[in-house]
Amino acid sequence: MTSNNKQSDAPTTDIKNQSKVCAGRETHERMNFLYQASTLMSQTNPQLSAVYGKLAKSIGKKAVLRMEPAIKRTLCVRCGVLLNPATTAELHDFRHKQLCYLQVDCKLCGYSKRFYNSKNHQLWLDNPGSVVERIEFD
Ligand SMILES: [Zn+2]
């Protein structure tokens, strides 16, 4: 295994430099493509949208990469369909004295997810301390 790595130095260094720039860039691009395909298919073919969405989630899980919560929340947890309020999802805004949440029901599989509104809750990505490094692409 070690002898194979030393045979061609020039191509491997290029690959190493690319991977240093952004870890898992190709995987991110593939997940982005599948998410866009899922978005496109959500209006005409929800089953196909669910396949693409679930594939994007499983690719991210295998490569140990995370989706941004705003994007991840648009995919159904169970079937992976893009939750479009016009076609594939129903939104219920529940407000009571102490309990406020937004319930999203998937029309394809029937799964419902609640997003609670608490005043003190803040996502980790909204915290400025979560940014380790900023990479800009040309
Ligand atoms: Zn679903």
Structural domain containing residue 64: 25-126
- Please check the confidence at residue 60 and state whether its pLDDT lies above 80: yes
Provide the whole-model pTM: 0.74
Distances (CA, A) of 24 to 5, 16, 47, 62, 132: 20, 12, 28, 11, 16
User: What's the CA-to-centroid distance between 47 and ligand 1, angstroms?
Assistant: 10
How many angstroms separate the alpha carbon of residue 112 from the centre of ligand 1? Answer: 8
* Total domains, the chain: 1
Q: 113 C-alpha to center of ligand 1: Å?
A: 10
Cα of 79 vs centre of ligand 1, distance in Å, is 4
Distance 85 CA to ligand 1 centre (A): 13
Expressed in angstroms and rounded, the spacing between residue 90 Cα and the centre of ligand 1 is 11
> Is the pLDDT score of 114 beyond 50?
yes
Band the pLDDT of 22: cuts 50, 70, 90. Answer: confident
Residue 136 domain-assigned (yes or no): no
The residue-averaged pLDDT of 7-30 equals: 65
For residue 12, tell me if it sits in a domain: no
Question: Which amino acid would we find at residue 47?
Answer: Q
How many residues are given for the chain?
Answer: 138
Tell me, yes or no, whether 3 lies in a domain.
no
Question: And the tokens for 57?
Answer: 């989630």
Distance (Å, whole) CA 79 – CA 46: 10
